Structure 1
Amino acid sequence: MGASPWAFLVLGCFLTGPWLTFCQLPLPTVFPNEDEKVVQLHSSFTLRCSGDSEVSWQYPMQNEEDQKIEVRNEENNSGLFVTVLEVVNASAVHTGLYTCYYNHTQTEETEVEGKDIYIYVPDPDVAFVPSAMVDHLLFAEEHDSVTIPCRTTDPQAQVTLLNSDDKVVHAFYDSRQGFVGNFAMGQFKCETVIKGKKFQTIPFIIYTITGRFSPSLFSFPF
């Protein structure tokens, strides 16, 4: 059996000259074919990715051992490469961006580029997606935009940003990212109310960098 045209195309991506014009494969296909999906708490969900070359998933908590997530390759008769990601007993920590990408297009130095789907797992007891302490230390140069990453598990949640004096700070909010804007140096908290219950994040601390940055200049409260 001869090599497929896609095999020659992928090989061409590693060559120079005219081949480089044709080495861009179409993005992998993800099913369900949706931009975002809300999944019921403690339910299971499956994401299927297929492409013309070997594909992999990037997903929340990937660096943590999570027995609720299984990733496996599947064979079919279409000639495509298929990878399936399955989550059982979904919880708030599974809220986030799931990206399917071609293995040969990624390196340690580049960001993952592929086909995305964003999953929400609303939890009435966990309003904000759990985050690591390091995510609460934010550095920015003067006048640069900063993202305060208080993401919600429910896309319908209404979130307020408070400063250290508990005064409301008006800024653009995206439930997939958090608050985005130009903020003064200081502490900020995110707050939301779900079914009459108030939730607040621990403080996010923004450090404004002026001149040459040296981590030793700062003493962290954590």
Structure 2
Amino acid sequence: MKLCMLLTLALLSVELQNGVSQQVSHKKEATEARFRPGRKRIKVRYPKGKEKDVGGKPQSILTQVLDKGRFLRLGDTLSLNPGKTMELRCKGTKIGWAYPSYLDIFNDPRLSIKQHEKFGQLTLTSPSAADTGEYSCWAVLCDGEECEKDPDRTSTTYIYFTDKDELFVPSVIHFEIVYLRPDKPATVPCRVTSPKATVSLHREVPPEEILVDGSLIYYKPSKGFILQSPSPEHTGAFYCKASSTTKTTPQISTKFQLLYVEVPSGPPFATIQASQKQVRGGDIFNVTCTVLGEPEADVSFRWTFPGQEERPVNIHDSWRLINRGVRHTTRISQSVMTVDDADTIDFGHYICTAKNPYGETSVATRVNSYDQPLLNDEEGKP
């Protein structure tokens, strides 16, 4: 009897050990299956400040928020319908933004920019065709109080707000001047709200469509018509015409006046002249400072004259465009100083300093009393 019981207990022990062994084996197999090399998920970590490359090009850090939890990483261009609020995000703890400049000029309340802990946010409510343009963001690197743009983390997208009733991007300027220079391309900026629009360039007088050969003259929807080698033959009044599959009637752009410029870039070329070289007490005389230069180069004037700290004078600055030679346009800027009721204190040198974006030039002339001999000094640099 005892032997029988011992055999029963031994068999039961063996069965229990087999059961535990099988359970452990099943767990081991399940664990191995979960971590098989072919199914293992690996999270790739990139160096800080870098994004995954696609075809050798860094991915954009600029995204559009589609709805809660869904995002679209933006490429070079994006087409949206007007009216619906646009929200853009850019990854980074300190982000800089760029967008169509007129939104800043008019301090548009529709635009909102916020910096969150891990991203920057740009929101534009009720966007319209006029908001079509380039939107950019970049990471800002700071070392103490000095900050700079990170060139490796910068993204730009040109966004079209496609409006079937507005084929051209609206402008507050109804007649725009385009300056043509022989040394660089010129752009007739008739931008469109849809990259699919068909656009042509036309001259008003004589009425004709300009041949666009794709080389010397070509069209970019985000820029307009680009003239690679402008010449005097391209001067005149022009406009653009656009058509699309959604609009049966072609649309006409604002007008553009193309002016040919052949003035070298550089510091102002200035001259100075007094209305009288010799004056008597009580006389009225003027001193005029004149600069000829590029139409777009603003010129500012600064004067140094006798009695500057003691007597008031009247100074009037002005500029206008003039034609010089055949179809050449130049900007003439002038500053005129008027001295009333001349006195002894007003005799001496009058110095004009003209400044433009390229530098500054000083010229001088002398005004004498009739009691003093007239000096044969030439007007020019002091």
Read off the aligned partner of 2:259 and give its amino acid letter: Y
Identity %: 25
Q: Counterparts of 2:158 and 2:261 in 1: how far apart (Å)?
A: 32
Find the counterpart in structure 2 of residue 205 from structure 1.
257
- Kindly indicate whether the alpha-carbon contact (under 8 Å) linking 1:28 and 1:50 is maintained by their aligned counterparts in 2: no
Q: Residue 211 of structure 1: CA displacement? A: 3.2
Out of 243, 257, 266, the residue aligned to residue 193 of structure 1 is 243
Find the counterpart in structure 2 of residue 105 from structure 1.
148
- Kindly indicate whether the alpha-carbon contact (under 8 Å) linking 2:136 and 2:155 is maintained by their aligned counterparts in 1: yes
Range 126-135 or range 158-167, more displaced = 126-135
- Kindly indicate whether the alpha-carbon contact (under 8 Å) linking 2:167 and 2:194 is maintained by their aligned counterparts in 1: yes
- Kindly indicate whether the alpha-carbon contact (under 8 Å) linking 1:135 and 1:149 is maintained by their aligned counterparts in 2: no
Is 1:120 equivalent to 2:160 in the alignment? yes
Read off the aligned partner of 1:97 and give its amino acid letter: E
Q: Residue 214 of structure 1: CA displacement? A: 4.7
- Kindly indicate whether the alpha-carbon contact (under 8 Å) linking 2:174 and 2:255 is maintained by their aligned counterparts in 1: no
Find the counterpart in structure 2 of residue 29 from structure 1.
61
Is 1:136 equivalent to 2:176 in the alignment? yes
Q: Residue 172 of structure 1: CA displacement? A: 0.6
Q: Residue 114 of structure 1: CA displacement? A: 3.2
Aligned length: 185
Q: Residue 203 of structure 1: CA displacement? A: 1.2
Q: Residue 27 of structure 1: CA displacement? A: 9.3
Find the counterpart in structure 1 of residue 96 from structure 2.
56
* CA distances 1:60-82 after superposition (whole Å, capped 9, x unpaired): 13322222221111124xxxxx2
Q: Counterparts of 2:61 and 2:163 in 1: how far apart (Å)?
A: 29
CA RMSD in angstroms comes to 2.8
Runs of 4+ in 1 over 6 A off after TM superposition: none
Q: Residue 173 of structure 1: CA displacement? A: 0.5
Q: Residue 134 of structure 1: CA displacement? A: 8.7
Find the counterpart in structure 1 of residue 321 from structure 2.
217
TM-score (norm 1): 0.73
* CA distances 1:12-44 after superposition (whole Å, capped 9, x unpaired): xxxxxxxxxxxxxx9971113322111112112
Q: Residue 45 of structure 1: CA displacement? A: 1.8
> Which structure 2 segments of 5+ residues have no match?
1-47, 49-57, 64-72, 141-146, 265-292, 296-319, 324-328, 330-382
* CA distances 1:201-220 after superposition (whole Å, capped 9, x unpaired): 12111111123535433499
Range 205-214 or range 121-130, more displaced = 205-214
Q: Counterparts of 1:29 and 1:135 in 2: how far apart (Å)?
A: 38
List aligned pairs for 1:29-178, cutoff 5 A.
Answer: 29-31=61-63, 32-51=73-92, 54-60=94-100, 61-63=102-104, 64-76=106-118, 82-103=119-140, 104-105=147-148, 114-133=154-173, 136-142=176-182, 144-164=184-204, 165-169=206-210, 170=212, 171-178=217-224
Q: Residue 152 of structure 1: CA displacement? A: 0.3
Q: Counterparts of 1:132 and 1:102 in 2: how far apart (Å)?
A: 32
Read off the aligned partner of 2:218 and give its amino acid letter: F
- Kindly indicate whether the alpha-carbon contact (under 8 Å) linking 2:95 and 2:138 is maintained by their aligned counterparts in 1: yes
Read off the aligned partner of 1:93 and give its amino acid letter: A
Q: Counterparts of 2:165 and 2:81 in 1: how far apart (Å)?
A: 14
Greater CA radius of gyration, 1 or 2?
2
C-alpha change, 1:144 and 1:37, in structure 2 (3 Å) is same
> Which structure 1 segments of 5+ residues have no match?
1-5, 7-25, 77-81, 107-112
TM-score (norm 2): 0.44
Q: Counterparts of 1:206 and 1:162 in 2: how far apart (Å)?
A: 12
Aligned partner of residue 62 in structure 1, secondary structure: helix
Q: Counterparts of 1:135 and 1:101 in 2: how far apart (Å)?
A: 35
Q: Residue 59 of structure 1: CA displacement? A: 0.6
- Kindly indicate whether the alpha-carbon contact (under 8 Å) linking 1:28 and 1:100 is maintained by their aligned counterparts in 2: no
Aligned partner of residue 114 in structure 1, secondary structure: strand
Q: Residue 131 of structure 1: CA displacement? A: 2.3
RCO (CA 8 Å, sep 6+): is it higher in 1 or 2?
1
Q: Counterparts of 1:134 and 1:124 in 2: how far apart (Å)?
A: 21
Q: Residue 102 of structure 1: CA displacement? A: 3.9
- Kindly indicate whether the alpha-carbon contact (under 8 Å) linking 2:61 and 2:154 is maintained by their aligned counterparts in 1: no
Aligned partner of residue 103 in structure 2, secondary structure: coil
